[in-house]
Amino acid sequence: MKKLFILLVLTVLCGQTFVFAQPQTQAQRKTDKKAAQWVEKTIKKMTLREKIGQMMVMSTSGEFANTGSNRFKEMRRQIEEFHVGGFTLFRGEANSIAALTNEAQKLAKIPLFFSGDYERGLRMQSRIGTPFTTNMGVAATGDVGAAYNQGKIICEEMRAIGGNWLFAPVADINNNPDNPVINIRSFGADPQKVGEFVSAEARGVRDANCLATLKHFPGHGNTATDSHIGLSVISADRKQLDATEIVPFKAAIASGAESIMTAHLAVPNVTGDNMPSTLNPKVINDILRKDLNFKGIITTDSMEMGAITKSYPNGESAVMAIKAGVDVVLFPPNLEAAIKAVEASVKKGDITEARIDESVRRLLAAKYRLGLAQNRLVDLTAANRIVEKPENVAEANRVAEKSITLLRNENNFLPLTKEKAGKTLFVVIAADDDAVEGAAFTPDVQKRQPNAKFIKLDPRSTEEDYAKALAEARNYDSIVLAPFVKRAAAKGTVALPENQVAFVRKMLALSKKRVGVIAFGNPYMIRQFPEAKTYVVTYAIEEVAQTAAVRTLFGEVPFSGKLPVNIPGLFEIGAGIGR
Protein backbone atom coordinates (compact mmCIF):
# COMPACT_ATOMS: atom_id res chain seq x y z
CA MET A 1 0.00 0.00 0.00
CA LYS A 2 2.83 2.38 0.89
CA LYS A 3 4.42 1.85 -2.54
CA LEU A 4 1.07 2.53 -4.18
CA PHE A 5 0.72 5.86 -2.34
CA ILE A 6 4.25 6.88 -3.33
CA LEU A 7 3.48 5.95 -6.94
CA LEU A 8 0.40 8.19 -6.84
CA VAL A 9 2.40 11.10 -5.44
CA LEU A 10 5.11 10.58 -8.05
CA THR A 11 2.37 10.85 -10.66
CA VAL A 12 1.35 14.23 -9.20
CA LEU A 13 4.96 15.36 -9.10
CA CYS A 14 5.56 14.33 -12.68
CA GLY A 15 2.50 16.31 -13.68
CA GLN A 16 4.10 19.38 -12.10
CA THR A 17 7.62 18.88 -13.40
CA PHE A 18 7.12 17.81 -17.00
CA VAL A 19 8.84 20.94 -18.30
CA PHE A 20 12.07 18.96 -18.66
CA ALA A 21 12.66 18.62 -22.39
CA GLN A 22 15.06 15.72 -21.83
CA PRO A 23 14.54 12.57 -19.71
CA GLN A 24 15.00 13.24 -16.01
CA THR A 25 18.46 12.73 -14.55
CA GLN A 26 19.14 10.33 -11.70
CA ALA A 27 19.36 13.32 -9.32
CA GLN A 28 15.93 14.54 -10.45
CA ARG A 29 14.42 11.10 -9.95
CA LYS A 30 15.90 10.96 -6.44
CA THR A 31 14.42 14.37 -5.69
CA ASP A 32 10.99 13.22 -6.86
CA LYS A 33 11.22 10.13 -4.67
CA LYS A 34 12.17 12.21 -1.62
CA ALA A 35 9.28 14.56 -2.38
CA ALA A 36 6.85 11.66 -2.63
CA GLN A 37 8.05 10.28 0.68
CA TRP A 38 7.70 13.68 2.39
CA VAL A 39 4.21 14.18 0.97
CA GLU A 40 3.06 10.75 2.09
CA LYS A 41 4.61 11.06 5.54
CA THR A 42 2.97 14.47 5.99
CA ILE A 43 -0.50 13.55 4.79
CA LYS A 44 -0.64 10.48 7.02
CA LYS A 45 -0.32 12.72 10.08
CA MET A 46 -3.14 15.05 9.01
CA THR A 47 -6.71 14.99 10.23
CA LEU A 48 -9.58 15.58 7.82
CA ARG A 49 -9.99 19.11 9.19
CA GLU A 50 -6.30 19.82 8.58
CA LYS A 51 -6.51 18.53 5.03
CA ILE A 52 -9.50 20.74 4.25
CA GLY A 53 -7.69 23.70 5.82
CA GLN A 54 -4.79 23.18 3.40
CA MET A 55 -7.24 23.82 0.58
CA MET A 56 -8.12 27.28 1.90
CA VAL A 57 -6.03 30.38 1.14
CA MET A 58 -6.89 33.66 2.87
CA SER A 59 -5.90 37.29 2.26
CA THR A 60 -3.68 39.27 4.59
CA SER A 61 -2.16 42.73 4.75
CA GLY A 62 1.60 42.98 4.45
CA GLU A 63 1.65 46.15 6.52
CA PHE A 64 3.56 46.10 9.80
CA ALA A 65 1.70 44.18 12.51
CA ASN A 66 2.85 43.71 16.07
CA THR A 67 2.65 40.01 16.94
CA GLY A 68 0.33 40.92 19.80
CA SER A 69 -2.05 42.92 17.60
CA ASN A 70 -5.59 41.80 16.80
CA ARG A 71 -4.69 41.53 13.11
CA PHE A 72 -1.82 39.14 13.79
CA LYS A 73 -3.92 37.21 16.32
CA GLU A 74 -6.49 36.58 13.57
CA MET A 75 -3.75 35.35 11.28
CA ARG A 76 -2.48 33.08 14.04
CA ARG A 77 -6.01 31.72 14.52
CA GLN A 78 -6.36 30.96 10.83
CA ILE A 79 -3.07 29.04 10.94
CA GLU A 80 -3.40 27.21 14.26
CA GLU A 81 -7.14 26.59 14.45
CA PHE A 82 -8.10 26.30 10.79
CA HIS A 83 -4.76 25.05 9.35
CA VAL A 84 -4.98 27.19 6.20
CA GLY A 85 -2.70 26.36 3.32
CA GLY A 86 -1.50 29.90 2.84
CA PHE A 87 -2.17 33.60 2.44
CA THR A 88 -2.32 36.12 -0.38
CA LEU A 89 -0.39 39.31 0.34
CA PHE A 90 -1.77 42.81 -0.14
CA ARG A 91 -0.07 46.15 0.59
CA GLY A 92 3.02 46.54 2.76
CA GLU A 93 6.69 47.09 2.05
CA ALA A 94 9.55 44.64 1.66
CA ASN A 95 10.83 44.33 5.21
CA SER A 96 7.44 44.27 6.89
CA ILE A 97 6.22 41.56 4.50
CA ALA A 98 9.36 39.46 5.00
CA ALA A 99 9.05 39.68 8.78
CA LEU A 100 5.35 38.81 8.63
CA THR A 101 5.84 35.76 6.40
CA ASN A 102 8.58 34.45 8.70
CA GLU A 103 6.42 34.82 11.82
CA ALA A 104 3.52 33.07 10.10
CA GLN A 105 5.71 30.23 8.82
CA LYS A 106 6.99 29.61 12.36
CA LEU A 107 3.42 29.08 13.54
CA ALA A 108 2.43 26.60 10.83
CA LYS A 109 2.72 22.80 11.13
CA ILE A 110 2.93 22.61 7.34
CA PRO A 111 4.76 25.28 5.29
CA LEU A 112 2.53 28.04 3.96
CA PHE A 113 2.01 29.35 0.47
CA PHE A 114 2.38 33.12 0.25
CA SER A 115 0.81 34.23 -2.99
CA GLY A 116 0.53 37.62 -4.62
CA ASP A 117 -1.49 39.30 -7.35
CA TYR A 118 1.72 40.79 -8.72
CA GLU A 119 0.91 40.77 -12.43
CA ARG A 120 3.18 43.74 -13.15
CA GLY A 121 5.41 43.32 -10.14
CA LEU A 122 5.23 43.85 -6.40
CA ARG A 123 4.15 47.46 -6.96
CA MET A 124 0.77 46.27 -8.13
CA GLN A 125 -0.10 45.58 -4.49
CA SER A 126 2.58 47.32 -2.43
CA ARG A 127 4.85 50.34 -2.27
CA ILE A 128 7.98 48.56 -3.44
CA GLY A 129 9.26 46.48 -6.34
CA THR A 130 10.63 46.86 -9.85
CA PRO A 131 8.06 49.03 -11.67
CA PHE A 132 6.92 47.14 -14.75
CA THR A 133 4.44 48.33 -17.32
CA THR A 134 1.32 46.28 -18.04
CA ASN A 135 1.18 43.01 -19.98
CA MET A 136 -0.31 44.76 -22.99
CA GLY A 137 2.61 47.17 -22.90
CA VAL A 138 5.06 44.26 -22.80
CA ALA A 139 3.33 42.70 -25.81
CA ALA A 140 3.53 46.01 -27.69
CA THR A 141 7.33 45.66 -27.66
CA GLY A 142 7.12 42.37 -29.56
CA ASP A 143 9.86 41.09 -27.25
CA VAL A 144 8.87 37.70 -25.81
CA GLY A 145 12.12 37.69 -23.85
CA ALA A 146 10.88 40.71 -21.92
CA ALA A 147 8.00 38.61 -20.59
CA TYR A 148 10.43 35.90 -19.45
CA ASN A 149 12.62 38.50 -17.72
CA GLN A 150 9.61 40.08 -16.05
CA GLY A 151 8.40 36.75 -14.67
CA LYS A 152 11.87 35.90 -13.38
CA ILE A 153 12.41 39.28 -11.71
CA ILE A 154 8.96 39.32 -10.10
CA CYS A 155 9.55 35.87 -8.62
CA GLU A 156 13.03 36.75 -7.37
CA GLU A 157 11.58 39.75 -5.57
CA MET A 158 8.72 37.67 -4.20
CA ARG A 159 11.10 35.08 -2.79
CA ALA A 160 13.10 37.86 -1.14
CA ILE A 161 10.04 38.92 0.88
CA GLY A 162 8.73 35.41 1.58
CA GLY A 163 6.38 34.98 -1.37
CA ASN A 164 6.34 31.82 -3.47
CA TRP A 165 3.16 31.67 -5.58
CA LEU A 166 2.53 34.29 -8.28
CA PHE A 167 -1.05 34.83 -9.47
CA ALA A 168 0.15 35.58 -13.00
CA PRO A 169 0.51 35.56 -15.97
CA VAL A 170 -2.89 36.62 -17.29
CA ALA A 171 -3.70 34.24 -20.15
CA ASP A 172 -6.93 35.98 -21.18
CA ILE A 173 -7.27 37.31 -24.72
CA ASN A 174 -8.69 40.82 -24.75
CA ASN A 175 -11.04 40.44 -27.69
CA ASN A 176 -13.73 42.75 -26.30
CA PRO A 177 -12.74 46.45 -26.30
CA ASP A 178 -15.29 47.17 -23.57
CA ASN A 179 -13.93 44.58 -21.15
CA PRO A 180 -13.67 46.45 -17.82
CA VAL A 181 -11.74 43.83 -15.86
CA ILE A 182 -9.02 42.49 -18.22
CA ASN A 183 -8.14 45.19 -20.79
CA ILE A 184 -4.43 46.11 -20.42
CA ARG A 185 -3.81 43.10 -18.14
CA SER A 186 -3.92 40.96 -21.29
CA PHE A 187 -1.00 40.42 -23.66
CA GLY A 188 -3.32 41.18 -26.57
CA ALA A 189 -5.92 39.83 -28.95
CA ASP A 190 -3.92 37.33 -31.02
CA PRO A 191 -4.30 33.89 -29.38
CA GLN A 192 -0.96 32.53 -30.60
CA LYS A 193 0.98 35.65 -29.64
CA VAL A 194 -0.66 35.77 -26.23
CA GLY A 195 0.29 32.11 -25.78
CA GLU A 196 3.94 32.91 -26.54
CA PHE A 197 4.11 35.74 -24.00
CA VAL A 198 2.20 33.80 -21.33
CA SER A 199 4.43 30.75 -21.76
CA ALA A 200 7.58 32.88 -21.58
CA GLU A 201 6.52 34.64 -18.39
CA ALA A 202 5.50 31.35 -16.78
CA ARG A 203 8.94 29.89 -17.58
CA GLY A 204 10.64 32.90 -16.01
CA VAL A 205 8.57 32.51 -12.87
CA ARG A 206 9.37 28.83 -12.59
CA ASP A 207 13.09 29.34 -13.27
CA ALA A 208 13.21 31.70 -10.29
CA ASN A 209 11.41 29.08 -8.18
CA CYS A 210 7.85 30.30 -7.77
CA LEU A 211 4.56 28.83 -8.91
CA ALA A 212 3.12 30.63 -11.94
CA THR A 213 -0.65 30.82 -12.36
CA LEU A 214 -2.47 31.06 -15.66
CA LYS A 215 -5.69 33.02 -15.31
CA HIS A 216 -8.68 33.14 -15.74
CA PHE A 217 -9.76 29.80 -17.20
CA PRO A 218 -11.50 29.29 -19.62
CA GLY A 219 -10.81 32.90 -20.64
CA HIS A 220 -12.18 36.21 -19.37
CA GLY A 221 -11.45 38.44 -22.35
CA ASN A 222 -14.67 38.45 -24.34
CA THR A 223 -17.05 40.03 -21.84
CA ALA A 224 -18.13 43.53 -20.84
CA THR A 225 -19.12 42.46 -17.31
CA ASP A 226 -16.78 42.71 -14.32
CA SER A 227 -17.04 39.47 -12.35
CA HIS A 228 -16.18 41.40 -9.19
CA ILE A 229 -19.67 42.84 -9.58
CA GLY A 230 -21.76 40.13 -11.28
CA LEU A 231 -21.65 36.96 -13.35
CA SER A 232 -19.96 37.35 -16.73
CA VAL A 233 -21.30 35.28 -19.61
CA ILE A 234 -19.18 34.17 -22.59
CA SER A 235 -21.32 33.32 -25.60
CA ALA A 236 -18.70 31.23 -27.41
CA ASP A 237 -19.28 27.55 -28.11
CA ARG A 238 -16.61 24.89 -27.52
CA LYS A 239 -15.17 25.18 -31.02
CA GLN A 240 -14.77 28.93 -30.62
CA LEU A 241 -13.23 28.55 -27.16
CA ASP A 242 -10.71 26.04 -28.49
CA ALA A 243 -9.78 28.37 -31.36
CA THR A 244 -9.34 31.49 -29.23
CA GLU A 245 -9.63 31.69 -25.44
CA ILE A 246 -8.11 28.31 -24.61
CA VAL A 247 -5.12 28.63 -26.98
CA PRO A 248 -2.82 30.49 -24.52
CA PHE A 249 -3.71 28.06 -21.72
CA LYS A 250 -2.81 25.09 -23.90
CA ALA A 251 0.51 26.66 -24.87
CA ALA A 252 1.50 27.45 -21.30
CA ILE A 253 0.37 24.07 -19.97
CA ALA A 254 2.60 22.44 -22.60
CA SER A 255 5.53 24.57 -21.38
CA GLY A 256 5.04 23.46 -17.78
CA ALA A 257 2.72 25.90 -16.02
CA GLU A 258 1.97 24.58 -12.55
CA SER A 259 -1.29 26.26 -11.55
CA ILE A 260 -4.40 27.73 -13.11
CA MET A 261 -6.97 30.14 -11.68
CA THR A 262 -10.60 29.74 -12.66
CA ALA A 263 -12.92 32.47 -13.89
CA HIS A 264 -16.25 33.34 -12.29
CA LEU A 265 -18.07 33.32 -15.62
CA ALA A 266 -20.57 31.12 -17.41
CA VAL A 267 -20.14 29.48 -20.82
CA PRO A 268 -23.72 28.33 -21.50
CA ASN A 269 -23.07 27.29 -25.11
CA VAL A 270 -20.42 24.90 -23.82
CA THR A 271 -21.96 23.58 -20.61
CA GLY A 272 -25.68 24.05 -21.27
CA ASP A 273 -26.13 26.03 -18.05
CA ASN A 274 -25.30 29.36 -16.41
CA MET A 275 -23.23 27.98 -13.55
CA PRO A 276 -19.93 29.86 -12.99
CA SER A 277 -16.95 27.93 -14.35
CA THR A 278 -15.36 27.95 -10.89
CA LEU A 279 -18.19 25.75 -9.62
CA ASN A 280 -18.80 23.80 -12.80
CA PRO A 281 -17.37 20.26 -13.21
CA LYS A 282 -18.11 20.46 -16.94
CA VAL A 283 -15.40 23.14 -17.16
CA ILE A 284 -12.96 22.23 -14.38
CA ASN A 285 -13.05 18.45 -14.48
CA ASP A 286 -14.15 17.71 -18.04
CA ILE A 287 -12.27 20.40 -20.00
CA LEU A 288 -9.31 21.39 -17.84
CA ARG A 289 -8.48 18.09 -16.17
CA LYS A 290 -9.56 15.58 -18.82
CA ASP A 291 -9.42 17.31 -22.20
CA LEU A 292 -6.36 19.48 -21.52
CA ASN A 293 -4.78 16.87 -19.23
CA PHE A 294 -3.78 19.52 -16.69
CA LYS A 295 -2.28 17.86 -13.63
CA GLY A 296 -1.25 20.95 -11.67
CA ILE A 297 -3.00 23.04 -9.02
CA ILE A 298 -6.37 24.61 -9.79
CA THR A 299 -7.35 27.55 -7.61
CA THR A 300 -10.54 29.54 -7.65
CA ASP A 301 -10.50 33.28 -8.10
CA SER A 302 -11.60 35.18 -4.99
CA MET A 303 -14.80 33.66 -3.64
CA GLU A 304 -15.70 37.09 -2.27
CA MET A 305 -16.51 38.38 -5.75
CA GLY A 306 -20.07 39.29 -6.67
CA ALA A 307 -20.33 36.63 -9.38
CA ILE A 308 -20.24 34.02 -6.59
CA THR A 309 -21.63 35.69 -3.47
CA LYS A 310 -24.81 36.97 -5.14
CA SER A 311 -26.04 33.46 -5.93
CA TYR A 312 -24.16 30.96 -3.79
CA PRO A 313 -23.86 30.94 0.02
CA ASN A 314 -20.36 30.76 1.46
CA GLY A 315 -20.26 27.10 2.53
CA GLU A 316 -22.16 25.89 -0.51
CA SER A 317 -19.78 27.62 -2.93
CA ALA A 318 -16.72 26.03 -1.30
CA VAL A 319 -18.29 22.56 -1.55
CA MET A 320 -19.33 23.10 -5.16
CA ALA A 321 -15.87 24.31 -6.16
CA ILE A 322 -14.17 21.26 -4.65
CA LYS A 323 -16.71 18.91 -6.21
CA ALA A 324 -16.04 20.62 -9.54
CA GLY A 325 -12.35 19.76 -9.21
CA VAL A 326 -10.50 22.74 -7.70
CA ASP A 327 -7.66 22.30 -5.22
CA VAL A 328 -7.74 25.71 -3.54
CA VAL A 329 -10.69 27.81 -2.40
CA LEU A 330 -9.41 31.39 -2.46
CA PHE A 331 -10.76 33.85 0.13
CA PRO A 332 -13.92 32.09 1.31
CA PRO A 333 -15.99 34.91 2.88
CA ASN A 334 -16.37 32.90 6.09
CA LEU A 335 -13.44 30.53 6.58
CA GLU A 336 -14.96 28.53 9.42
CA ALA A 337 -18.28 28.07 7.59
CA ALA A 338 -16.49 26.94 4.43
CA ILE A 339 -14.38 24.34 6.26
CA LYS A 340 -17.38 23.02 8.20
CA ALA A 341 -19.45 22.74 5.03
CA VAL A 342 -16.74 20.78 3.22
CA GLU A 343 -16.18 18.56 6.25
CA ALA A 344 -19.90 17.84 6.51
CA SER A 345 -20.00 17.03 2.80
CA VAL A 346 -17.18 14.51 3.24
CA LYS A 347 -18.87 12.88 6.23
CA LYS A 348 -22.11 12.58 4.24
CA GLY A 349 -20.25 10.98 1.35
CA ASP A 350 -20.96 13.78 -1.13
CA ILE A 351 -17.19 14.33 -1.39
CA THR A 352 -14.86 11.41 -0.75
CA GLU A 353 -11.83 11.81 1.48
CA ALA A 354 -9.83 10.40 -1.42
CA ARG A 355 -10.90 13.47 -3.42
CA ILE A 356 -9.60 15.73 -0.63
CA ASP A 357 -6.36 13.72 -0.46
CA GLU A 358 -5.88 14.15 -4.19
CA SER A 359 -5.80 17.94 -3.83
CA VAL A 360 -3.74 17.92 -0.64
CA ARG A 361 -1.09 15.69 -2.22
CA ARG A 362 -0.91 18.10 -5.15
CA LEU A 363 -0.48 21.08 -2.80
CA LEU A 364 2.11 19.39 -0.62
CA ALA A 365 4.08 18.29 -3.67
CA ALA A 366 4.21 21.89 -4.86
CA LYS A 367 5.39 23.08 -1.45
CA TYR A 368 8.17 20.52 -1.53
CA ARG A 369 9.15 21.55 -5.07
CA LEU A 370 9.44 25.16 -3.86
CA GLY A 371 11.87 24.07 -1.15
CA LEU A 372 9.52 24.93 1.71
CA ALA A 373 9.92 21.53 3.35
CA GLN A 374 13.63 22.21 3.71
CA ASN A 375 13.53 25.93 4.54
CA ARG A 376 10.36 27.95 4.86
CA LEU A 377 11.96 31.13 6.26
CA VAL A 378 13.39 34.05 4.31
CA ASP A 379 16.66 35.86 5.00
CA LEU A 380 15.54 39.25 6.35
CA THR A 381 18.51 40.95 4.67
CA ALA A 382 17.60 39.61 1.21
CA ALA A 383 15.00 42.23 0.31
CA ASN A 384 17.50 45.08 0.47
CA ARG A 385 19.79 43.23 -1.94
CA ILE A 386 17.21 41.87 -4.37
CA VAL A 387 14.16 44.13 -4.55
CA GLU A 388 14.51 46.97 -7.07
CA LYS A 389 17.99 46.09 -8.31
CA PRO A 390 19.16 48.99 -10.53
CA GLU A 391 19.64 46.67 -13.49
CA ASN A 392 16.08 45.35 -13.10
CA VAL A 393 14.63 48.86 -12.87
CA ALA A 394 16.59 49.74 -16.02
CA GLU A 395 15.07 46.70 -17.76
CA ALA A 396 11.56 47.76 -16.73
CA ASN A 397 12.18 51.27 -18.05
CA ARG A 398 13.57 49.90 -21.33
CA VAL A 399 10.48 47.76 -21.88
CA ALA A 400 8.13 50.63 -21.07
CA GLU A 401 9.92 52.89 -23.55
CA LYS A 402 9.73 50.26 -26.31
CA SER A 403 6.00 49.84 -25.66
CA ILE A 404 4.92 53.41 -26.44
CA THR A 405 2.90 53.25 -29.66
CA LEU A 406 2.33 56.12 -32.09
CA LEU A 407 -0.83 55.46 -34.10
CA ARG A 408 -1.45 58.86 -35.71
CA ASN A 409 0.90 61.80 -36.18
CA GLU A 410 -0.58 64.55 -38.33
CA ASN A 411 2.06 66.73 -39.96
CA ASN A 412 4.74 65.13 -37.78
CA PHE A 413 3.45 66.83 -34.65
CA LEU A 414 5.64 64.49 -32.58
CA PRO A 415 8.29 64.45 -31.30
CA LEU A 416 8.32 67.82 -29.60
CA THR A 417 11.33 70.11 -29.43
CA LYS A 418 12.10 72.07 -26.28
CA GLU A 419 11.05 75.24 -28.11
CA LYS A 420 7.78 73.74 -29.29
CA ALA A 421 7.00 72.44 -25.78
CA GLY A 422 7.31 76.00 -24.48
CA LYS A 423 4.44 77.01 -26.75
CA THR A 424 2.29 74.00 -25.89
CA LEU A 425 -0.46 73.68 -23.32
CA PHE A 426 -0.37 70.31 -21.53
CA VAL A 427 -3.67 69.15 -20.05
CA VAL A 428 -3.81 66.15 -17.73
CA ILE A 429 -7.33 64.71 -17.71
CA ALA A 430 -7.68 62.29 -14.81
CA ALA A 431 -10.75 60.08 -14.95
CA ASP A 432 -10.09 58.82 -11.44
CA ASP A 433 -9.28 60.30 -8.07
CA ASP A 434 -5.81 58.76 -8.08
CA ALA A 435 -2.69 60.78 -7.31
CA VAL A 436 -0.57 58.73 -9.73
CA GLU A 437 -2.42 60.17 -12.75
CA GLY A 438 0.03 62.78 -14.01
CA ALA A 439 2.41 62.41 -11.04
CA ALA A 440 5.48 61.77 -13.23
CA PHE A 441 4.25 63.16 -16.55
CA THR A 442 4.09 66.76 -15.35
CA PRO A 443 7.50 67.03 -13.63
CA ASP A 444 9.21 65.01 -16.38
CA VAL A 445 7.98 67.44 -19.05
CA GLN A 446 8.93 70.42 -16.89
CA LYS A 447 12.47 69.04 -16.46
CA ARG A 448 12.84 69.37 -20.22
CA GLN A 449 10.92 72.64 -20.58
CA PRO A 450 10.57 74.57 -17.28
CA ASN A 451 8.15 77.00 -18.91
CA ALA A 452 5.71 74.31 -19.99
CA LYS A 453 2.16 75.23 -18.97
CA PHE A 454 0.07 72.51 -17.26
CA ILE A 455 -3.58 72.22 -16.31
CA LYS A 456 -4.99 69.22 -14.46
CA LEU A 457 -8.65 68.26 -14.54
CA ASP A 458 -10.03 65.45 -12.39
CA PRO A 459 -13.35 64.20 -10.93
CA ARG A 460 -13.49 67.24 -8.64
CA SER A 461 -13.21 69.72 -11.51
CA THR A 462 -16.26 71.86 -12.23
CA GLU A 463 -17.82 72.94 -15.52
CA GLU A 464 -16.14 76.30 -14.94
CA ASP A 465 -12.75 74.58 -14.67
CA TYR A 466 -13.27 72.90 -18.04
CA ALA A 467 -14.40 76.18 -19.60
CA LYS A 468 -11.30 77.98 -18.28
CA ALA A 469 -9.03 75.28 -19.69
CA LEU A 470 -10.70 75.57 -23.08
CA ALA A 471 -10.26 79.34 -23.03
CA GLU A 472 -6.61 79.01 -21.98
CA ALA A 473 -5.95 76.67 -24.90
CA ARG A 474 -6.64 79.50 -27.35
CA ASN A 475 -3.43 81.18 -26.20
CA TYR A 476 -1.18 78.35 -27.36
CA ASP A 477 0.06 77.11 -30.72
CA SER A 478 -0.42 73.47 -29.80
CA ILE A 479 -2.03 71.32 -27.14
CA VAL A 480 -1.14 67.94 -25.67
CA LEU A 481 -4.02 66.16 -23.97
CA ALA A 482 -3.11 63.38 -21.53
CA PRO A 483 -6.26 61.48 -20.52
CA PHE A 484 -5.77 58.85 -17.80
CA VAL A 485 -8.20 55.98 -17.27
CA LYS A 486 -7.51 53.52 -14.48
CA ARG A 487 -8.54 49.88 -14.82
CA ALA A 488 -9.70 48.76 -11.40
CA ALA A 489 -11.60 45.84 -9.92
CA ALA A 490 -15.30 46.55 -9.39
CA LYS A 491 -15.08 49.87 -11.25
CA GLY A 492 -17.13 48.43 -14.09
CA THR A 493 -15.75 50.58 -16.90
CA VAL A 494 -12.53 51.57 -18.67
CA ALA A 495 -14.13 54.47 -20.53
CA LEU A 496 -13.33 58.15 -20.11
CA PRO A 497 -16.30 59.88 -18.39
CA GLU A 498 -18.68 61.61 -20.80
CA ASN A 499 -17.99 65.13 -19.53
CA GLN A 500 -14.27 64.60 -20.14
CA VAL A 501 -14.93 63.13 -23.59
CA ALA A 502 -16.95 66.24 -24.45
CA PHE A 503 -14.02 68.40 -23.30
CA VAL A 504 -11.52 66.43 -25.39
CA ARG A 505 -13.71 66.78 -28.47
CA LYS A 506 -14.03 70.54 -27.96
CA MET A 507 -10.25 70.77 -27.73
CA LEU A 508 -9.84 68.73 -30.90
CA ALA A 509 -12.29 71.03 -32.67
CA LEU A 510 -10.32 74.21 -31.95
CA SER A 511 -9.44 75.85 -35.25
CA LYS A 512 -5.81 76.34 -36.27
CA LYS A 513 -4.56 74.39 -33.26
CA ARG A 514 -2.40 71.28 -33.35
CA VAL A 515 -3.75 68.84 -30.77
CA GLY A 516 -2.19 65.54 -29.77
CA VAL A 517 -3.63 62.91 -27.44
CA ILE A 518 -1.48 60.63 -25.28
CA ALA A 519 -3.74 57.95 -23.84
CA PHE A 520 -2.62 56.59 -20.48
CA GLY A 521 -4.25 53.27 -19.72
CA ASN A 522 -6.99 51.99 -22.00
CA PRO A 523 -5.70 51.97 -25.62
CA TYR A 524 -9.26 51.85 -26.99
CA MET A 525 -9.94 55.36 -25.70
CA ILE A 526 -9.76 56.84 -29.20
CA ARG A 527 -13.13 55.23 -29.99
CA GLN A 528 -14.63 58.01 -27.88
CA PHE A 529 -12.94 60.74 -29.95
CA PRO A 530 -12.02 59.12 -33.31
CA GLU A 531 -11.31 62.50 -34.91
CA ALA A 532 -8.00 62.78 -33.01
CA LYS A 533 -5.26 63.38 -35.58
CA THR A 534 -2.29 62.60 -33.35
CA TYR A 535 -2.71 59.66 -31.00
CA VAL A 536 -0.25 57.84 -28.74
CA VAL A 537 -0.93 54.76 -26.61
CA THR A 538 1.00 53.96 -23.40
CA TYR A 539 -1.07 50.98 -22.07
CA ALA A 540 -0.58 52.04 -18.42
CA ILE A 541 -1.18 54.88 -15.99
CA GLU A 542 1.79 54.09 -13.74
CA GLU A 543 4.82 56.37 -13.41
CA VAL A 544 7.05 54.03 -15.43
CA ALA A 545 4.76 54.54 -18.44
CA GLN A 546 4.52 58.29 -17.86
CA THR A 547 8.30 58.68 -17.84
CA ALA A 548 8.63 56.49 -20.93
CA ALA A 549 5.97 58.54 -22.72
CA VAL A 550 7.81 61.79 -22.01
CA ARG A 551 11.06 60.37 -23.35
CA THR A 552 9.37 59.39 -26.62
CA LEU A 553 7.43 62.66 -26.67
CA PHE A 554 10.73 64.59 -26.76
CA GLY A 555 12.46 62.25 -29.20
CA GLU A 556 14.97 60.88 -26.69
CA VAL A 557 13.94 57.36 -27.65
CA PRO A 558 12.01 56.40 -30.78
CA PHE A 559 8.38 55.39 -30.97
CA SER A 560 8.62 51.66 -31.67
CA GLY A 561 5.58 49.98 -30.08
CA LYS A 562 3.10 47.97 -32.15
CA LEU A 563 -0.56 47.62 -31.19
CA PRO A 564 -1.25 44.09 -29.84
CA VAL A 565 -5.03 44.48 -30.15
CA ASN A 566 -7.31 45.77 -32.86
CA ILE A 567 -9.34 48.91 -32.25
CA PRO A 568 -12.53 48.27 -34.22
CA GLY A 569 -12.93 50.47 -37.27
CA LEU A 570 -9.69 52.32 -36.60
CA PHE A 571 -6.55 50.20 -36.19
CA GLU A 572 -5.52 46.59 -36.74
CA ILE A 573 -3.15 44.45 -34.67
CA GLY A 574 0.43 45.49 -35.48
CA ALA A 575 -0.36 49.15 -36.17
CA GLY A 576 2.28 51.64 -35.10
CA ILE A 577 4.36 54.43 -36.65
CA GLY A 578 8.11 54.34 -36.10
CA ARG A 579 9.63 57.77 -35.37
The CATH number of residue 507's host domain is 3.40.50.1700
- Please check whether residues 52 and 182 belong to one and the same domain: yes
Looking at residues 352-366, what average pLDDT do you find? 98
Asked whether residue 518 carries a pLDDT value surpassing 80, the answer given is: yes
Element (H or E) spanning 457, and its range? strand 453-457
SS (H, E, C) 88-126: EEECCCHHHHHHHHHHHHHHCCCCCEEEECCCCCHHHCC
Asked whether residue 397 carries a pLDDT value surpassing 50, the answer given is: yes
Residue 345 lies in a domain: yes
Looking at residues 65-77, what average pLDDT do you find? 96
CA dihedral (296, 300, 301, 307) positive or negative: positive
Looking at residues 445-458, what average pLDDT do you find? 97
Give the pLDDT band of residue 27 (cuts 50, 70, 90): low
Residue 572 lies in a domain: no
- Please check whether residues 420 and 376 belong to one and the same domain: no
Asked whether residue 24 carries a pLDDT value surpassing 60, the answer given is: no
pLDDT for res 405: 98
- Please check whether residues 255 and 361 belong to one and the same domain: yes
- Please check whether residues 245 and 364 belong to one and the same domain: yes
With the CA atoms of 65, 66, 71 and 73 taken in that order, what torsion angle do they form, in degrees rounded to the nearest 10?
A: 140
Nearest 5°: the CA angle 196, 171, 484 is 105
Sequence-distant (≥ 6) Cβ neighbours of residue 82 within 8 angstroms: 53, 56, 335, 336, 339
Asked whether residue 22 carries a pLDDT value surpassing 70, the answer given is: no
Residue 320 lies in a domain: yes
Beta carbons of 39 and 9 less than 8 angstroms apart? yes
- Please check whether residues 301 and 431 belong to one and the same domain: no
- Please check whether residues 21 and 140 belong to one and the same domain: yes
Asked whether residue 90 carries a pLDDT value surpassing 90, the answer given is: yes
Q: Which of 19-33, 386-400, 474-488 has the highest mean pLDDT?
A: 386-400
What is d(CA 65, CA 76) in angstroms, rounded to the nearest whole number? Answer: 12
Residue 96 lies in a domain: yes
- Please check whether residues 74 and 179 belong to one and the same domain: yes
Mean pLDDT of the chain: 93
pLDDT for res 29: 67
- Please check whether residues 349 and 449 belong to one and the same domain: no
pTM for this one?
0.94
Residue 344 lies in a domain: yes
- Please check whether residues 179 and 308 belong to one and the same domain: yes
Residue 564 lies in a domain: no
Give the pLDDT band of residue 454 (cuts 50, 70, 90): very high
- The boundaries of the domain holding residue 353 are 2-386
Give the pLDDT band of residue 18 (cuts 50, 70, 90): very low
pLDDT for res 232: 87
Residue 398 lies in a domain: no
- Please check whether residues 482 and 524 belong to one and the same domain: yes
pLDDT for res 490: 65
H helix runs in 230-352, sequence order: 238-243, 247-254, 268-271, 281-283, 306-309, 314-324, 335-348
What is d(CA 189, CA 230) in angstroms, rounded to the nearest whole number? Answer: 24
Sequence-distant (≥ 6) Cβ neighbours of residue 142 within 8 angstroms: 562
- Please check whether residues 342 and 469 belong to one and the same domain: no
Give the pLDDT band of residue 6 (cuts 50, 70, 90): very low
How many structural domains are present in the chain? 2
- Please check whether residues 433 and 380 belong to one and the same domain: no
Give the pLDDT band of residue 140 (cuts 50, 70, 90): very high
pLDDT for res 399: 98
Residue 474 lies in a domain: yes
Give the pLDDT band of residue 228 (cuts 50, 70, 90): confident
Q: What is the CATH number of the domain that holds 223?
A: 3.20.20.300
Least confident of 14-23, 26-35, 308-317, 395-404: 14-23
